[in-house]
Structure 1
C-alpha cells in the first residue's frame, strides 16, 4: 500500500441482516466509482446488531465472492478475528482471495472480540471455540502475523515453535499476487495491541467516534514504533466512521476532523438497509 497524505476513502458493509445480493449490488456500484477505493466486510459469526437471530455471512467466504465480482476496488475484512482460524489456514484463505482479486487484498486482522462485548463473545460458545484472556490473545496475534508473513514470502518449508502457534513443515503455495505480500492492516486501540501494530502493520485501523482518543492512540503508536526503532510514518493511519444517511453534514465534519488528525485511510460504515445508489450518494455527499 502506498503511503500518502492524500486521503483514500472506502466503505464497510456488515454482512448481517441482509441478503447477499444487497452486498453484491453495493460493491458493484462502488467498483465503478473512482472516489471509493476500498471496500470491507466484518468478521462475526452471529449478528452484533439489529435482529440478533437474523442471518450473518462468513466474512472471508463472502469476500472471495465479492472479489470475483469486482475489478478495481481493494477488498478486505475489517478486521479478521485471529481467534477464529489457525493462522496458517488463514494465510491460505487470504492468499486465495488475493489471487481471485488479482492482487487487490488488504489483509485486515486483529485480536478478536473484546471480553466486555457480550454480543460478540456469545459466538465463541455457539461455535465451540475457546475465548482466551486478552494477554494470550495478543500474544497469539503477534505469532500469527509472524507466521502468516513467512508463509507468504519464504520459499522453503519451515518449522515454528511458538508459545501459541506450532507448525511443522509449513509452506505456502501459491504465494499471493502482491509482492512482497498483501498490506497488513491491524485493528485495535489497546496499548498491548499497539505494540503488535508497531511490529507488523502497514496500516493501523481504529474505530472512530472520539477523535481525541484516536489522536492519543496514534501518538501512543508513535512511541511504540520509537521503542523498536521503526519510523512511525511507515504505518498508514486508518479510521472507521459510522455513516448517518439523515445527517451527512455530521459525517463530513467527522471526516474532516479525522483527516486533520492524520488519518488518511477513511472507512465509511454503511448501515443496512442500504438506500438506492448508496455508493453514488457516498461519493457525492461525503467524499466530494
Structure 2
C-alpha cells in the first residue's frame, strides 16, 4: 500500500496559512500524513523573511487536527540535546493522541550557507560531520531508551552523556513512535539500518535514490536485519502548474519500491490546495 502525505515548510508563510492547509488535509482521507521541516532561519526566498520553529508549531497543529499522522522531516539533531528532544517528542505524541512520526537526521549540510548561518545566529555549535553522525547514532539509542525503559539510567557516549536519565510520561505509541531517519550519506544509512522504521530521502535523481536504497539493503544484511522492515519514503516537490509531472514522479517512485510519499507544497499555499492535491495529484 502507498501512503501519501504533504509537507508545508513554515517559511515565508504565517501560522494561519499552515493551519488552514493542515485542517483541510485532516478531513481528506487520501492525505494520510503531514510534515514540517526543522530550520530556524529561511533556506529559501527572503533570507530575512518569517519562519516558525518546527516542534512548537507541530504541537499546535497536533492540537488542531484529529486524524493526520504528523512529524518533522527531519529534526536536526544538532539543534537540541537528545534527552530534551525525547521529552519534546513525547509531548507531541501525547497532544496528538499517538500520531507522531519521529523524524530525525544529522542536521544541515555543511555546504548550505543559508542553513549554516542559523547555528551562529542562535549560538549553536556546528560540530563536524563525523561527530554529528556519531551524535545521531547515540541520540537514536538514548531517545528509544527514554521512551521505553522503566528505570533511570546513565549513558556515556562520545557525544552524549547522561546521568539519571528517565522519561515520564512515555509516548502514547508502543513501544515508541515510528522513527524516521532522513539522509543519503553512507554513514547515515548505517544508522538507518540499525535504528529506523522509515527511511526518507529527497527525490530528484531516481537512479541515485534507487542505488541508495540498494546500499541500505546491504547494510541491513550486514547486521542481520530484514531490509523489508524499513519503509522507504521519498520527498517529491509539487508543481501547481504541471500536476501530471508530479503524478508521474509518484508513479516512478512507487515503482522503485518507495511506498511512503511526501509531497512538498510550494508557498504561498493556494486556497483549497489540500483538496487539489487529492484530486489532481493523488487521484
- Return the TM-score normalized by structure 1: 0.98
1:1-150 map, 5 Å: 6-150=1-145
Q: Displacement, 1:130?
A: 1.1
Give 1:272's match in structure 2, choosing from 267, 270, 279.
Answer: 267
Aligned twin of 1:287? 282
Give, in whole Å, the separation in 2 of the partners of 1:276 and 1:157. Answer: 49
Aligned twin of 1:3? none
Q: Displacement, 1:18?
A: 0.8
Give, in whole Å, the separation in 1 of the partners of 2:204 and 2:246. Answer: 10
Moved over 3 A (4+): none
Give, in whole Å, the separation in 2 of the partners of 1:125 and 1:168. Answer: 28
Give, in whole Å, the separation in 2 of the partners of 1:121 and 1:250. Answer: 32
Aligned twin of 1:248? 243
String of CA shifts for 1:66-105, please: whole Å, max 9, x gaps. Answer: 0000000000000000000000000000000000000000
User: 2:203 aligned with 1:201, yes or no?
Assistant: no
Give, in whole Å, the separation in 2 of the partners of 1:18 and 1:114. Answer: 24
The runs of 5 or more residues in structure 2 that have no matched partner are: none
Aligned twin of 1:226? 221
SS of 1:275's partner is coil
Question: What is the CA RMSD across the aligned residues, in angstroms?
Answer: 0.4
Give, in whole Å, the separation in 2 of the partners of 1:171 and 1:130. Answer: 26
- Return the TM-score normalized by structure 2: 1.00
SS of 1:36's partner is coil
Give, in whole Å, the separation in 2 of the partners of 1:196 and 1:71. Answer: 32
Give, in whole Å, the separation in 2 of the partners of 1:137 and 1:220. Answer: 21
String of CA shifts for 1:41-83, please: whole Å, max 9, x gaps. Answer: 0000000001110010000000000000000000000000000
Q: Displacement, 1:155?
A: 0.2
Q: Displacement, 1:236?
A: 0.1
Q: Displacement, 1:276?
A: 1.2
The runs of 5 or more residues in structure 1 that have no matched partner are: 1-5
SS of 2:177's partner is coil
Give 2:181's match in structure 1, choosing from 181, 186, 190.
Answer: 186
Give, in whole Å, the separation in 2 of the partners of 1:234 and 1:218. Answer: 13
Q: Displacement, 1:133?
A: 1.2
Aligned twin of 1:217? 212
Q: Displacement, 1:176?
A: 0.1
Q: Displacement, 1:275?
A: 1.1
String of CA shifts for 1:202-233, please: whole Å, max 9, x gaps. Answer: 00000011111100000000011011000000
